[in-house]
A and B are shown apart, each in its own frame.
Chain A
């Protein structure tokens, strides 16, 4: 029980009570590492949240600089959402430690690991001490899971649970938004899979291993990477091997993330007649990509257009 002396109420306590009541009516301040999480938080939180993403959509999520200005954002956050799986381990820890915000530290109510409950791919087996010999491998598995919209539903569920924890009075509202979001995804996934149906098993080449969740969902097949190992820049020898492989099995599409140099891809394309497609890995990864669903609309549209063009060129050639 809190006892406040009637006449000599501590100014500090009054101040505290005023600020607490003010916060209750305000929007929840959500800070996320990636733009996709911010967009999902907005869709679930609706007008009850304000969301800010630290990494820009066209930025490499592995290598964001922990600028002190982000500490100011985190200091005022009610909820912090990150991808987990040590994707952001190079830049999130100094920001969290600098933020002096106990509400968003690991284990606190306002700390969300978006990967919770997500079925992960490429979880490495074998001796962890040998892992880095394979390049920039993530010990918990491939961290690019938000590129599968079905797994996106789990991310939304995690965010919904956290928002409900912080504002139990709005739980019903968050849950109904979650339901609407889930329904929208289910409908869109059916539509996208139907569009991709004719291209099931088409072989393509990618720059970095960002796409295992994306290709698993939409049925094409990544046969090689421009990077010899994740995070290791391409060598002429490796590129020559990729060119050989592409020419042998007739691969005509190379996909690349917005933040990597296009030079090695263009070089390989010039020797194989392939098309280089820059795909979005997150919301704002391209100017047209404004929402989580746009990521898939944009990427699949680009891929399908390229597949169609190649098919037509093939027919004309005959």
Chain B
């Protein structure tokens, strides 16, 4: 596990040096003034408890409760040119402890993310190198404990992996100038395709995973925003280098009145993933996945949401998982939240069952800012 990670780090550092050299030459600027105390990186620990109960007989255990993950993060500016972020997690794999196997032991450590971001590049560029969550879709960039529901949508699990897609490599991000002055950002990533994921696998030779994401953000009014994203990924799915192409479309509408942004909000989001897979012997698979989610803020600390999941598989467009869930969120403070989720799950080729998830997330230390 760790050996694998070290290989990834070396690969990333190498790529980063290449991407980074011009920045140092172009930028000449006074170094940031720092006091001794600020030399320590901002440290935080995020704990996630997960409780699960399911009406299905098929599970080894059908009631479970425990610490699901402890995530340690270290973040700081390296110098006036760059910032470093490290996330180490001790956790069980997958968002559903009942569905995963072989985890009777303790929590396994994993280097979730470790990357350097160059912040002062010319031409509105930003470069990230290391191990990081891929810029595919809307949810994938943020950590699962930040999601407004207790598990990953089935489309993510089936096509990207139990915890979403992350890999080692380089990410180049360009703020696209446009005459309308709205936010448009183009991300291009090439990564080693060596991390665990359902759609991609490490191939022999230099077969990378290429990924692009275009994010468009519009202020509809002072209180409402719309984000539309397009994603594409292209990479090997087996040792021989057969190719999988993924396409993604994401849509997020948020209404949040500025004066009352702590009391009232409404979010509507939807994502679709399209898969086109080449297999040995010339076979082709076309399949897709979708989820839609609506979240309404009932009161300052209470949220009520509903999600519909539909997901075929990377290897098959014939079978599909389906689920409908309702989630009640209680956000005690910015440092602690709970989610109760009730779902009717219908896995492909199996009987449907009910599932209850109970998730508690808490943070100590420097609390990271939230992405919008």
Binding site for B on A (CB under 8 A): 56, 58-60, 63-69, 71-72, 75, 89-94, 97-98, 100, 102, 105-109, 132, 136, 231-233, 258-259, 261
Contacts and interface: CB of A to CB of B under 8 A. Distances in A.
Residue from A71, A107, A233, A258 with most neighbouring chain B CB atoms (10 Å): A107
Nearest to B222: A56
Contact of B372 (A56, A67, A232): A67
B259 A71 contact: no
B32 A100 contact: no
A66 B260 CA distance: 16
Residue from A66, A68, A105, A231 with most neighbouring chain B CB atoms (10 Å): A68
A4 B185 CA distance: 35
Interface in B338-372: 364, 366-367, 369-372
A110 B88 CA distance: 34
Contacts of B30: 107-109
Nearest to A259: B259
8 contacts: A60-B262, A66-B371, A68-B185, A68-B372, A69-B219, A89-B367, A89-B369, A108-B32
A107 B32 contact: yes
Contacts of B263: 261
Contacts of A75: 124, 175
Given A231-B333, A233-B301, A107 B80 contact: yes
B260 A259 contact: yes
A97 B117 contact: yes
Nearest to A139: B366
Contact of B175 (A56, A71, A105): A71
Interface of B: 27, 29-34, 77, 80-81, 83, 117, 119-121, 124-126, 175, 181-183, 185, 215, 217-219, 222, 225, 227, 256, 258-263, 300-301, 333-335, 364, 366-367, 369-372
A12 B254 CA distance: 42
A129 to B, nearest CB: 8
A69 B180 CA distance: 12
Nearest to B260: A259
Contacts of A94: 369-372
Contact of A72 (B83, B181, B372): B181
A93 B369 contact: yes
Nearest to B123: A100
A227 to B, nearest CB: 12
B219 A102 contact: no
A58 B258 contact: yes
B362 to A, nearest CB: 11
Contact of A102 (B119, B333, B364, B369): B119
B300 A233 contact: yes
A59 B335 contact: no
A128 B66 CA distance: 29
Contacts of A64: 261
Nearest to B335: A132
Contact of A100 (B125, B218, B262): B125
A71 B77 contact: no
B300 A65 contact: no
Contacts of B372: 65-68, 94
Contact of A71 (B183, B301, B335, B369): B183
